[in-house]
Amino acid sequence: MGQTIIEKIISAHSDKQVKPGDIADVKIDARVARDFGGANVVKNIQDNQLKINDPKKTFFTFDCNPGGSDQKYATNQHICRLFAREQGIRVYDIDSGIGTHLAIENGLVGPGDTFISTDSHANIMGAIAAFGQGMGDQDIAAAWANGKIWFKVPPTMKLTLKGKPAPQASAKDIALAILQVTGANGLLGFATEVYGDFVEKLSLSDRITIASMNTEMGGIILLFPPNQEVVDYCIHAAKRKIAPVYADPDAHYENEMVVDIDGLEPQISRPGHPEDVVPACDLSDVKIDSAFIGSCTNGRYEDMVAAASVLNGRKVAPGVVLKIVPATNKVWQRCLDEGIIEIFKKSGALIGNAGCAGCANGQIGQNGPGEITISTGNRNFTGKQGKGQVYLASPATVAASAVSGIITTAKRIPRDPVLFRKGVTKHKERAKSEIAAPAEQKPTTVKGRVRVIRQDNIDTDMIYHNKYLAVTDINEMGQYTFDNLEGWEAFSQKAKPGDIIVTGKNFGAGSSRQQAVDCFKSLGISLIIAESFGAIYERNAINAGMPIMRAELTKTDIKDGEEIKVDFETGEIHRIDKKQTVQGEPFSNVQLEIYQKGGLLK
């Protein structure tokens, strides 16, 4: 039987033929740490007295906080710079842009290569049929030291795009249409290959936009078989021969999905859930306060051109703020050379230096309580870009809305912008308490009180908000646990060492932040049981030695406060009062070994 794209890449980088479910040590061609997570990678390397395997394949990218405007970010960046000087590691510093885009732009990775980063959207590499994964700081440190990292080969899904979208629809609209079908976890655990007559016509920029939103679908990676444009671009960027990877004709697909995009019109995602997608025209006349164009999803040159075509000769509506952040410095410079920056400035937009912008706390694109924002980002989780509400749309739709003062499309811009009415919005800040981390214990059987959260798709911003990402001391993390999960804000104050969390599907969806795991260790939580976990979150937990287990306990009548006993080796979950046993998934040999060591790097 033939192999899929992901199976071929992993086989080539592990020197053995692999199949879904195999665990392989995968050689990594480009290993990246960002300013977010980078200082922790350095700390892991130094604390464990590790050496760098190959400095030429090792990089820092400062894209979360390119201004260093936060004291802790500035400190972390300097820690990384000092380490880079000592080890001969290249730093793509604050003037460079988003790390994943830099990797493609500078030829660090090409079709068939492997790439990891402390960025949950490292799977953007699927746009060029490369393996890309976001990982936590322990994974990255291990790869820096060993040149490889363990990985479980995922099954592959075949996704076919049927038909041709309307001329005014963009790649972002296609991505949102796919997300509407898959939901937040429809691709969970899968590598997905994308096919269809229209796929061949998608540019590299289009492919990056769609691939970047695979994280929001719960997927491992979304791979596009490379067309000639992509191959030529990568050869030019890498200045070396490129051997593109394609699936074999007889490759096995675990599942197949068809998404009908025929006649697709501009789409929009409603606040709180990227998968809550409707036609943009359904939300016409929603008054907005601000607009954002940028992110790893829509910060390419083509995205800037699309926005400029709408903004040219127009002004941002009175009282509305438009913020624009190109993905890389090369994109920024090209926009400057071709007069696009001038169009933005004349429209009244604020242009930031290249970087992640709104996805990083404190950067351009954040909003305040009650603020309505339309954004080209990939996430609109509650609290992700501030305390307001965020709609997701294409660059053209965002630009059209900015000049109109309301949500609208480029074809429906009103003659006069819609103005604000007088009004007052009030809010209150929540108080938080601090909890010190208890001593860690590593039994293979635990007994404790359950805290039942009957909710699917709890993302990492709900678990540990991005405004606390600069915290590196695990003793400080526990107090922020579930700070952004409605109804559970006081969790850290009520949690007791030994408590067991029971929850639904896709727990830990979203970013690669290690703090979303470590906050539970800080509180002394002994186990997290979920129906399924976000792919990066699952790795982070295993590598940190944080016990997690898959089981469908939320489908039983289990109640908050009930006591259970769990055996990691057998997967048996004993409901003590009910005298009932539920079968969970036992720890794999790899998980058990890492857990017993106390972490991947121990």
pLDDT of residue 431: 35
Above 90 in pLDDT, residue 257?
Answer: yes
Confidence grade of residue 424 (pLDDT, cut at 50, 70, 90): very low
Write the CA distances from 548 to 304, 341, 462, 540, integer angstroms.
43, 48, 18, 10
- Per residue in 348-373, pLDDT (tens digit) is 999 999 999 877 665 787 888 999 99
Give Cα 134 distance to the centre of its chain. Answer: 8
**Range(s) for CATH 3.20.19.10 in the chain?**
445-597
pLDDT of residue 540: 96
For residue 357, which of 423, 405, 290 has the smallest C-alpha distance? 290
- Per residue in 544-570, pLDDT (tens digit) is 999 999 999 999 999 999 999 999 999
124 contact partners, CB below 8 Å, separation of at least 6: 100, 101, 104, 132, 208, 211, 212, 296
- Per residue in 189-246, pLDDT (tens digit) is 999 999 999 999 999 999 999 999 999 999 999 999 999 999 999 999 999 999 999 9
For residue 116, which of 57, 64, 73, 76 has the smallest C-alpha distance? 57
Q: What is the token pair recorded at 109?
A: 């990775």
Neighbours of 227 (CB within 10 A): 16
- Asked if residues 498 and 526 have their Cβ atoms less than 8 Å apart, the reply is yes
C-alpha span between 164 and 170 (Å, rounded): 11
Q: What is the token pair recorded at 348?
A: 């009244």
Strand partners, 159: 194, 257
C-alpha span between 209 and 216 (Å, rounded): 12
Above 50 in pLDDT, residue 425?
Answer: no
Above 70 in pLDDT, residue 430?
Answer: no
Q: Among residues of the chain, what percentage have pLDDT more than 70?
A: 96
pLDDT of residue 140: 97
- Per residue in 2-25, pLDDT (tens digit) is 999 999 999 999 999 999 999 999
What does residue 378 show for φ and ψ, rounded to 5 degrees?
-105, -10
C-alpha span between 552 and 180 (Å, rounded): 25
Confidence grade of residue 317 (pLDDT, cut at 50, 70, 90): very high
Across 274-284, average pLDDT: 95
pLDDT of residue 499: 98
DSSP secondary structure letter of residue 167: T
Above 50 in pLDDT, residue 436?
Answer: no
DSSP secondary structure letter of residue 120: T
For residue 385, which of 355, 362, 358 has the smallest C-alpha distance? 358
Confidence grade of residue 390 (pLDDT, cut at 50, 70, 90): very high
pLDDT of residue 361: 63
Across 27-31, average pLDDT: 98
Residue type, 367: N
CB burial of 243-280 (b: ≥16 within 10 Å; e: otherwise) equals ebbbbeeebbbeeebebebeebebbbbbbebbbbbebb
- 29: helix, strand or coil: coil
DSSP secondary structure letter of residue 453: E
C-alpha span between 464 and 473 (Å, rounded): 14
pLDDT of residue 68: 62
- Asked if residues 525 and 495 have their Cβ atoms less than 8 Å apart, the reply is yes
Q: What is the token pair recorded at 68?
A: 């260093």
Could you report how far apart the first and last alpha carbons of the chain are, in Å? 39
The structure tokens 């829509």 sit at 298
In what side-by-side order are the strands of the sheet with 563-567? 548-550, 527-530, 500-503, 445-453, 563-567, 572-575, 580-583
C-alpha span between 187 and 256 (Å, rounded): 11
C-alpha span between 194 and 257 (Å, rounded): 10
pLDDT of residue 426: 42
What does residue 106 show for φ and ψ, rounded to 5 degrees?
-100, 10
- Asked if residues 449 and 500 have their Cβ atoms less than 8 Å apart, the reply is yes
Helix H segments across 48-194? 71-87, 99-105, 137-146, 171-182
46 contact partners, CB below 8 Å, separation of at least 6: 83
Give a three-class secondary structure readout of 327-390: CEHHHHHHHHHCCHHHHHHHHCCEECCCCCHHHCCCCCCCECCCCEEEECCCCCCCCCCECCEE
For the chain, the average pLDDT equals 93
CATH 3.20.19.10 is the classification of domain 445-597: yes
Sign of CA pseudo-dihedral 295, 300, 306, 307: positive
Q: What is the token pair recorded at 221?
A: 């990676």
CATH 3.40.50.2300 is the classification of domain 5-260: no
Above 60 in pLDDT, residue 126?
Answer: yes
Torsion angle, alpha carbons of 311, 368, 508, 446, to 10: 170
C-alpha span between 361 and 466 (Å, rounded): 6
Q: What is the token pair recorded at 118?
A: 């402390």
CB burial of 473-492 (b: ≥16 within 10 Å; e: otherwise) equals ebebbbbbbbbbbeebeebb
Write the CA distances from 13 to 16, 71, 230, 368, integer angstroms.
8, 40, 22, 46
Across 75-101, average pLDDT: 96
Residue type, 212: S
What is the full DSSP assignment across 210-274?
HHHTTGGGT-SEEE----HHHHHHHHHHHTS--------TTB--SEEEEEE-TTPPPEEE-TT-T
Above 80 in pLDDT, residue 171?
Answer: yes
C-alpha span between 336 and 338 (Å, rounded): 6
- Asked if residues 160 and 192 have their Cβ atoms less than 8 Å apart, the reply is no
Q: What is the token pair recorded at 194?
A: 């994308």
pLDDT of residue 405: 97
Strand partners, 501: 451, 528
For residue 506, which of 237, 231, 216, 282 has the smallest C-alpha distance? 216
Helix H segments across 5-136? 5-14, 35-47, 71-87, 99-105
Superfamily for domain range 267-412: Aconitase, domain 3 (3.30.499.10)
Across 525-529, average pLDDT: 98
Above 50 in pLDDT, residue 272?
Answer: yes
**Higher pLDDT pick, 223 / 472:** 223
**Higher pLDDT pick, 467 / 111:** 111
**Range(s) for CATH 3.30.499.10 in the chain?**
5-260, 267-412
For residue 457, which of 186, 153, 213 has the smallest C-alpha distance? 186
